[in-house]
Structures are given as structure tokens and as C-alpha cells.
Amino acid sequence: MTTSQDVVVSEMGIGAGGAAMPGSGATGIFACRSAASAAGAMSMRQTYLDLAAAAARSASCTWVEAMRASSPTRSHAGAATDVDDLSTWMRKHPSALGKFEQIAAASKGKKIVMFLDYDGTLSPIVPNPDAAYMSDAMRAAVRDVAKHFPTAIVSGRCRDKVYNFVGLSELYYAGSHGMDIKGPSSNPESVLCQPASEFLPVIDEVYKVLVEKTKSTPGANVENNKFCLSVHFRCVDEKRWNFLAEQVKAVIKDYPMLKLTQGRKVSYLIIITITI
């Protein structure tokens, strides 16, 4: 974990200080504070804002289709489909435990840092995001890991919320997809990185607008993750997904500095910015 405020922009959005971008295999573009001249940084900033605007304009139903493909619906997904999905996924992402010896050999003499996702990794996926509790056994396992390696939890959620679920003060927490990073509270020199603070009023404004716009869609849920927002589709009838997506797009078209991206039955609104 780095203490600088370098920013990584990827197709999933933005992360700060080397935080992993959950779910993103995209190549990042790095904008380094010290390397950029003021003029160069300003033009880069404009470029990113232009990119964000273009992304928002070109957003179409394709991401609803992608979300549908990545998230078989409750009604269609019988046990057999679930097993198929799992096998396909496991083929693409074989367990690291199967390669334990190679990993141990490759890490000899290197510093190991553990980066863990929260939802669907440390906690089960549940319909109500506020009830995604972690088991005591999982908490004990993470506590053990943190005794041996610096350990960070990287999440799309608000950092405080993840901390409240996990409750281990010895960890690093990267909330809002890396926009809000804090080191162990036992260390007074601990890093605190919040490169997007200037956008908090915009995020709050968009949160209120989205809550109002989506209240007519049963099951829709807008979650305020502080430096980004999530619009949850999981409990919405699939027939209404396109309508809901259109509503979300209509709102963010007025905010070109925000980027819309997608997760599993969730849409994220992520700020794009760079530090100068």
C-alpha cells in the first residue's frame, strides 16, 4: 500500500494508491502527481473528463445485457445452471490452493500483502446489502492472516460500512473502490487517502436524485458508498431492468464527471478524477 496519492484510472473507474480494482482486468492509466506539469495535468484532467462524458453518452442497454449474462436470474437459474456456472467460473479461476507450492516458491524473499474483497468473498451474497454479515469463523481466519501479512480489504462499499462488518482494527480498508483508503487504526501515522473529497457534494446530490427517481421501481435500492453510489437491481423484476437503467442514465447525463459501470446486479456510479 502506498502513501502517495497517485491515481489509477481503469475502465471500471478509478482507484487510488495502488488499490486493486475489484473485478477489473483492465489496464490502468497512471497519472502521477509529481510527474505531471500543471499544464499537462490540466489537459489530462480535461481528457479524463471528456472520456467520462463520452462514456456516459455512449452508455446503452449493452451493460444491462452484460449484467443479465453475468447474473442468471432467480427464476431461470435452477440448481443445474448454478452448478454449470460454478464449473465454468472455476475453470477460468482455478483455486490458488491447487498451486500452493508454486506460489510459496515464487513468493520466497518477497513481501506478501493480502488484498481481500468483501461482498461474495468474506461474506455471502444476500438480497439486502445492509445484512451482508461475515461469519465469526471468517473473521478469525482474516485476523490470523493479518498476524502474518499486511492485509487490506478492498471494496466498492463505503469504508466505514466495511469496517463495521469486519471489525478488525489491524487491517487496511479501501472503500468506495479505492477512493477512501485508511491504514490500521493502531498506527497514528497510518495512511488516509481520499483523493475525491471535492466530489462529495455532487455524490450526495446525485444520491438524492436517484432515490427520488427510482422509488417507483419496486425492489430498487440506491446505496450511498460515500465516494460512489450503487443502484441495486437484485430485487427488481428483470422486466423492469431496462426502465431502471434508463432512469439511472437519464440522471447521470447531467453529471459528466461521473462514470457509470456495472457489477453483479448492481450499477456503480464512480467519479473519474486525477490528482494534480
Cell 484532467 belongs to 45
Site string for ligand L263DTV3, 120-159 (x = CB under 6 A): x----xxx-x--x----------------------xxx--
C-alpha cell at 243: 426502465
Query: According to CB under 6 A, which one of 159, 182, 226, 234 is a site residue for ligand L263DTV3?
Result: 234
Q: Mention every residue, 6+ apart, whose C-beta is less than 8 A from residue 186.
A: 169, 170
Question: Residue 91 to residues 17, 49, 70, 122: CA-CA distances in angstroms?
Answer: 31, 38, 16, 21
Taking CB under 6 A as the rule, does residue 266 contact ligand L263DTV3?
yes
Distances (CA, A) of 89 to 92, 95, 107, 122, 131: 5, 11, 26, 18, 26
CB of 254 to ligand L263DTV3, least distance (A): 22
Closest by CA position to 8, among listed 25, 40, 32: 32
Q: Residues 154 to 173: which contact ligand L263DTV3 by CB under 6 A?
A: 155-157
DSSP class of residue 123? B
Q: Is 23 or 150 the residue whose CB approaches ligand L263DTV3 more closely?
A: 23
Nearer to ligand L263DTV3, 108 or 239 (CB): 239
CB nearer ligand L263DTV3, residue 138 or residue 276: 138
Return residues touching ligand L263DTV3 (CB under 6 A).
Answer: 22, 117-120, 125-127, 129, 132, 155-157, 223, 225, 230, 232, 234, 263-266, 268
